Amino acid sequence: MDHPPAQSASAQPEVHHHSPPQGFIWKYVFSLDHKVIGKQYYFLSLVAVFVGMVLSWLMRMHLAWPTVAIPLLDKLSPNGAPGGVITPEYYLSLLTLHGTIMVFFVLTTAPQAGFGNFILPIQIGAEDMAFPRLNMLSFWVTFVAFCLMVTSLFVKDGPPISGWTAYAPLSAIGPAGGPGLGLGQELWAFSIATFCIGSLLGALNFIATTLDLRARGLSLMRLPLTVWGWLITAVLTLLSFAVLLTACVLLILDHVGGTSFFIPGGLVVSDQLQPHSGGSPLLWQHLFWFFGHPEVYIAILPGLGIIANILACTARRPPLGYKVITFSMLSIGFLSFVVWGHHMFLSGMSPFSALTFSVPTLIITMPAAIVSLCMICTLYGGKIRFNSFGLFAIGFVSVFVTGGLSGFFLAQPSIDTYLHATYFVVGHFHMVMAVAAIFGMFAGTYFWFPKMFGRMMNETLGKVHFWLTFVGVYAIFMPMHYIGFAANVRRYASFTDDYMIPLIPVHRFITVAALVTGGAQLIFFFNLFWSMFRGKLAPANPWGATQLEWTVPSPPPFDNFGGKHPVVYHGAYEYGVQGSTGDYVMQDSPEKIVSS
C-alpha cells in the first residue's frame, strides 16, 4: 500500500452508522465497545496497582522494622499478622501476591490491554476491534482471574508463599510444604491459568485487528510506533502465554490429580516420604521462564512504543530512526524467546547451556541500546515541551537506560554466581521492567486522558507527581543495587545473618523512600478522578499530535469515525514541518508536506 489516490476528506465513502447500545449494563458492563473495554482494563489495573503498592508498603515496613504492629492488619489476617505484626510466612505471602499482581494485572494489563484497546483501533482508523465479543470475553476472563487471586488473601492460611515464580516442588507439593501452599497455591494457579486464557484471546484480537482493519493508505511503515509495540507484544503474548497456561494446568494436576510433573521421587517433607516420583523441578523453571522472559518484554514493549510516540510529539520532530526503532523492537521480540535460560544459570541445568543462554542475552542489549539511543537523540535539535507526559517520557528513557545497564552484569554467568538472588536483581528488574513500564503508563495517561475522558488533567499536579516519582524511584531502587553488591539476599523476611545486619539502615532508607514515593501516587489518583469530572473540556487535538485518534472528538463517538472511513496520506510523525494548523501535518490530511 503506497499513496492512495488523492481525494478530499469529504469524498470518503459513507458506511453504515452503528448506534450505541442502550442501558447501563450493555453500555458500561458487558460492552462490546473497545473504548469501554480499554477503560475497564485500565481501571482494573488501577485497582490492582493500588493493592500491589499497599502490599509493597507492608513488606517494606516489615523489613525496616520487623516488630512494628501495623494497624488493622490482624483483622485481614489473624494468622498472618497476629497483633498486626507480620510473620515470616505472611511476608512471603505478601511478596508472592505483590509480584503476581504487579506483573500480571498491572504490567501486562494496562499498557497492552488498557491503552492498546482504547487507542489502537482508532489509531489504525478502525471502528472497533476485529472481534468485539472476544474482546469483551477477554476482559471478563481477566476480571475473574483477578478476583481469584485476591480471594487467596481471605482463605484460611492465606496466599501461597512460593513467590511469583512459583518454583516447584514448593508450589506443587501442597500443604505439607508450608502455609498457603494448599488452597492458596491452587487459587494462584487457577487465577494465572484463567489470566492466560484472557491474554491469549486478547492477543489474537490485537493481531487480527492490526493486520486486517487498517485504514486505506496506512501501510505497515506508516503505523505509529505505539501500534508496532502493541502488535509485537501481541505476538509474544500468543506464543508465551500458551506455554504458561500448559505449565499451570500441569501444576494444578500435581495438586488435585495425583500427578508428579514437577515433583521428583524420594522427597521427604516433615519426616514424611511423599507419594510422588519421576517429576522434574527444572521442568517448571523451563516452562515458566519460556513464558517469563518474553513476559518482561510484554511489559516493556508497549511502553517503548508509547514513549517513542510521545517523545516525537513532545520534541516536535519525527523520532530519530523510525525504521531502526521498529526493527530493533522486532529483534528484541524475536531474541526474547531464546534467552530464558539466563534465569537458570545456577539452577542445576548443564553449565554449558549457561554460556549458550548468556550470548543471546548479551546480544539483546544491542537492539535495546539502539532504541534507547534513538530515543535520547530524538530530543536533539527538537523543540521540547516539558508538560507532564513529556517529563514522564524523558524520565522513562532515564530509568530504562539505568535498569538496562545493570542487565549487563546478570547476563554473565560468572558474575551471576555472585549477584544472583541478591537485591541487585531486585533493583535491576524493578527499574527496567516495573518503573519503566509504569512511567510509560503515566506518560500514556497524561497524554491520552483528554481523548479517553474528554477533559484535561491538571498540569501542576502532574508535574509535582513527576518530580516526586522520578527522584523517589531512584531513591528506592538505586540503594538496592548497593546492598546487592554487599550480598544482601532477596526474599528474606528479616535479616538476621551477621553480614546483613549492618545493611538494615539502608533498608530503612528504602522503606521511607517507598512510603513517600507511594504517597506521591495519591496525587496522581486525585488528579485522575478530579479531572475526570472537573477538568477543563478537551479539544480534539490538545497536543498538536499527528495520529488518527486526534482527528476525532474527545472523547470519540461510539463508532470512532462517525461512520466514515479515514484515509491516510502520511507517515505517523510529520512534526517539524509547515502544516496548515501548525508545525505538523496530520496523517489523514491530504496536504503536501513542506519542511519548515
Partner 1 sequence: MGKVFAVVLTIITLVSTYFFVVRRWWMPVDISVHGPGVDRQIIETMLGTGILFVLSQLALAGFAWKFGGPGEGRKIKTFPGGASGLVIAVVVIVGIEILTLSLVGSKVWAGMYFVPAPANALHVDVQAEQFAFYFRYPGPDGEFGPIHPDKINDGNGDYFGLDPANDVSARDDIIVGTLTVPIGKPVLLTMHSKDMIHSFYVPELRIQQDIVPGLDIPIHFTATKTGKYEIVCTQLCGLGHYSMRAYIEVLPQDQFDQWLKGQSQ
- Please, which of residues 560-589 interact with partner 1 by CB under 8 A? 575-576
Residue 272: strand, helix, or coil: strand
State the Cα–Cα distance between residues 86 and 493, nearest whole angstrom: 9
Among 6, 54, 220, 377, binds partner 1 (CB under 8 A): 377
Q: Strand 582-584's sheet: what is its strand order? A: 582-584, 575-579, 594-595
State the Cα–Cα distance between residues 198 and 192, nearest whole angstrom: 10
What is the x/- site pattern for partner 1, positions 117-136, by CB under 8 A? Answer: --------------------
Among 28, 418, 525, 526, binds partner 1 (CB under 8 A): 418
Grid coordinates belonging to 584: 505538523
Q: Which stretch binds partner 1 (CB under 8 A): 46-54, 125-133, 405-413, 548-556?
A: 405-413
Among 11, 258, 380, 533, binds partner 1 (CB under 8 A): 380
Q: Is 494 in the site for partner 1 (CB under 8 A)?
A: yes
Residue 138 or 309: the one with the smaller Cβ distance to partner 1 is 309
CA-based max dimension of the chain:
81
State the Cα–Cα distance between residues 472 and 232, nearest whole angstrom: 31
Beta bridge partners of 577: 595
State the Cα–Cα distance between residues 363 and 459, nearest whole angstrom: 40
Q: Is 85 in the site for partner 1 (CB under 8 A)?
A: no
Residue 169 or 440: the one with the smaller Cβ distance to partner 1 is 169
State the Cα–Cα distance between residues 278 and 318, nearest whole angstrom: 57
CA end-to-end span of the chain: 27
Q: Which stretch binds partner 1 (CB under 8 A): 40-48, 105-113, 483-491, 547-555?
A: 483-491
Report yes or no: 57 and 39 within 8 Å, Cβ to Cβ.
no
Q: Is 40 in the site for partner 1 (CB under 8 A)?
A: no
Residue 130: strand, helix, or coil: coil
Min separation Cβ 327 and partner 1, Å = 10
Among 15, 346, 501, 540, binds partner 1 (CB under 8 A): 346
What is the x/- site pattern for partner 1, positions 449-478, by CB under 8 A? Answer: --------------x---x--xx--x---x
Instruction: Detail the DSSP E strand segments found in 14-106.
Output: none
Min separation Cβ 399 and partner 1, Å = 10
Q: Is 315 in the site for partner 1 (CB under 8 A)?
A: yes
Residue 27 or 463: the one with the smaller Cβ distance to partner 1 is 463
Interface positions, 497-526, toward partner 1 (CB under 8 A): 497-499, 503, 506
Q: Is 353 in the site for partner 1 (CB under 8 A)?
A: no
> Residue 411 belongs to what H/E stretch?
none
Min separation Cβ 498 and partner 1, Å = 6
Q: Give the list of residues 6+ apart from residue 224 with CB closer than 8 angstroms, or none.
A: 123, 305, 309, 547, 572, 573
Residue 373 or 523: the one with the smaller Cβ distance to partner 1 is 373
Residue 162 or 551: the one with the smaller Cβ distance to partner 1 is 162
* Main-chain phi, psi angles of 273, to 5 degrees: -70, 125
State the Cα–Cα distance between residues 563 and 19, nearest whole angstrom: 10
Q: Is 79 in the site for partner 1 (CB under 8 A)?
A: no
Among 59, 130, 236, 394, binds partner 1 (CB under 8 A): 394
Q: Which stretch binds partner 1 (CB under 8 A): 211-219, 302-310, 331-339, 414-422?
A: 414-422
Among 304, 308, 320, 393, binds partner 1 (CB under 8 A): 320
Residue in this structure with the C-alpha cell 548443564, named with its chain if needed: 350
Residue in this structure with the C-alpha cell 479539544, named with its chain if needed: 539
Residue in this structure with the C-alpha cell 474528554, named with its chain if needed: 454
State the Cα–Cα distance between residues 21 and 36, nearest whole angstrom: 12
Interface positions, 258-287, toward partner 1 (CB under 8 A): 264-271, 273, 279-282
Min separation Cβ 356 and partner 1, Å = 11
Over its C-alpha atoms, the chain yields an Rg (Å, rounded) of 24
Residue in this structure with the C-alpha cell 550480598, named with its chain if needed: 487
Residue 467 CB neighbour total at 10 angstroms:
12
Grid coordinates belonging to 151: 480471594
Q: Give the list of residues 6+ apart from residue 392 with CB closer than 8 angstroms, or none.
A: 439, 442, 443, 446, 466
Interface positions, 4-33, toward partner 1 (CB under 8 A): none
Interface positions, 163-182, toward partner 1 (CB under 8 A): 163, 167, 169-170, 173, 177-179
Residue 43 or 386: the one with the smaller Cβ distance to partner 1 is 386
Residue 220 carries which side chain, given as an amino acid letter?
L
Report yes or no: 503 and 486 within 8 Å, Cβ to Cβ.
yes
Among 366, 501, 522, 540, binds partner 1 (CB under 8 A): 366
Grid coordinates belonging to 255: 495438586
Residue 45 or 309: the one with the smaller Cβ distance to partner 1 is 309
Residue 239 or 516: the one with the smaller Cβ distance to partner 1 is 516
Q: Is 493 in the site for partner 1 (CB under 8 A)?
A: yes
CA atoms within 13 A on the CB side of 393: 30
Q: What angle do CA 83, 85, 90 make, to 5 degrees?
A: 115
Q: Is 77 in the site for partner 1 (CB under 8 A)?
A: no
Q: Give CA 212 to chain center in angstroms.
A: 26
Residue 120 or 311: the one with the smaller Cβ distance to partner 1 is 311
Q: Which stretch binds partner 1 (CB under 8 A): 2-10, 291-299, 415-423, 561-569?
A: 415-423
What is the x/- site pattern for partner 1, positions 199-218, by CB under 8 A? Answer: --------------------
Min separation Cβ 506 and partner 1, Å = 7
Residue 87 or 259: the one with the smaller Cβ distance to partner 1 is 87
Beta bridge partners of 269: 272
Min separation Cβ 162 and partner 1, Å = 7
Q: Which stretch binds partner 1 (CB under 8 A): 36-44, 401-409, 440-448, 524-532?
A: 401-409
Residue 11 or 594: the one with the smaller Cβ distance to partner 1 is 594
> Residue 579 belongs to what H/E stretch?
strand 575-579
Min separation Cβ 31 and partner 1, Å = 39
Residue 479 or 556: the one with the smaller Cβ distance to partner 1 is 479
Grid coordinates belonging to 336: 526474547
